[in-house]
């Protein structure tokens, strides 16, 4: 598996200050604290990426969340999002419901403090397959309904395509895991691997990534072609999931 970059030099100061404040705030109630997502990968872009964290407390009361308000005011401008808050029991009770999300946490995280629960998570294969199938089929229905709502306006179709790409990397990583293929961390490699797995020979996946990064500004005709190509790919992916 690719190595996770624990703390990039340009993020280390912000993150360490935040972690220190978290430790001071919760003290004995704190089980563990993690950096997750793009901030510890080469995909991080300071202009558009937030720093995401996961806070695991031994127990959570609403009053514990209120304590984070002041930290939110302090760190929001520094690009640090409000942490996702869980307990060990919540993770144990929910891993069967959100296997894609926990697969992503397991794959891309760095434990700053406490016992690393994420590295040893056991993701049930059938639970993962069912959520992937549900996500793909839901995405397909949403694409159809949203396509109808555009009323054929080219700019709206391009906007719809841009929105629909959100969340594809975790889904694709989970599918690659189910297919017993290497699971890349870097988003471009995830898209390339999916293209190979699907035996899809168009430039769709490269263009989707360029679109998401704002480096592709398709014409109305190009946007429509890209949308149709993406729709066919999601249909094909739905069929592949059934055969895994």
Percent share of the chain, pLDDT over 70: 97
Neighbours of 242 (CB within 10 A): 10
Q: What is the pLDDT of residue 102?
A: 99
| Digit-coded pLDDT (tens) for 182-227 | 999 999 999 999 999 998 877 888 888 888 877 888 888 888 999 9
CATH number of residue 33's parent domain: 3.30.460.10
| Digit-coded pLDDT (tens) for 131-178 | 999 999 999 999 999 999 988 888 888 888 888 888 899 999 999 999
Q: Is residue 108 part of a domain?
A: yes
The total domain count for the chain is: 2
**149 and 232 together in one domain:** yes
Q: What is the pLDDT of residue 244?
A: 84
Q: Which structural domain, as residue segments, surrounds residue 15?
A: 9-120
**183 and 200 together in one domain:** yes
pTM: 0.91
**88 and 163 together in one domain:** no
Q: Is residue 196 part of a domain?
A: yes
Q: Is the dihedral of CA 165, 102, 60, 76 positive or negative?
A: negative
Query: Does position 30 have pLDDT exceeding 60, yes or no?
Result: yes
The SS3 of residue 98 is coil
| Digit-coded pLDDT (tens) for 81-112 | 999 999 999 999 999 999 999 999 999 999 99
Q: Is residue 2 part of a domain?
A: no
How is residue 80 annotated by DSSP? B
**98 and 133 together in one domain:** no
Place 1 in a pLDDT band, splitting at 50, 70 and 90. very low
Place 48 in a pLDDT band, splitting at 50, 70 and 90. confident
Which parts of 39-135 are beta strand (E)? 52-57, 84-86, 109-114
């Amino acid at each position: 598996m690719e190595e996770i970059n624990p703390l990039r030099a340009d993020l280390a100061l912000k993150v360490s200050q935040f972690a220190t404040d978290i430790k001071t705030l919760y003290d004995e109630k704190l089980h563990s604290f993690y950096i997750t997502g793009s901030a510890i990968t080469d995909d991080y872009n300071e202009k558009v990426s937030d720093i995401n964290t996961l806070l695991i407390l031994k127990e959570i009361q609403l009053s514990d969340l209120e304590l984070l308000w002041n930290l939110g005011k302090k760190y929001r401008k520094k690009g640090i999002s409000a942490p996702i808050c869980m307990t060990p029991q919540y993770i144990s009770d929910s891993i069967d419901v959100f296997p894609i999300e926990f697969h992503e946490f397991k794959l891309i995280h760095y434990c700053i403090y406490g016992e690393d629960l994420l590295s040893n998570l056991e993701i049930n294969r059938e639970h993962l397959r069912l959520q992937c199938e549900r996500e793909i089929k839901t995405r397909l229905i949403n694409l159809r309904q949203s396509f109808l709502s555009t009323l054929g306006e080219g700019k709206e179709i391009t906007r719809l395509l841009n929105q629909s790409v959100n969340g594809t990397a975790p889904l694709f990583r989970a599918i690659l895991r189910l297919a017993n293929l290497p699971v890349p961390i870097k988003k471009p490699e995830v898209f390339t691997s999916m293209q190979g797995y699907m035996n899809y020979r168009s430039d769709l996946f490269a263009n989707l990534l360029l679109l998401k990064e704002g480096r592709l500004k398709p014409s109305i005709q190009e946007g429509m072609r890209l949308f149709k190509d993406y729709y066919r790919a999601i249909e094909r992916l739905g069929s592949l999931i059934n055969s895994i």
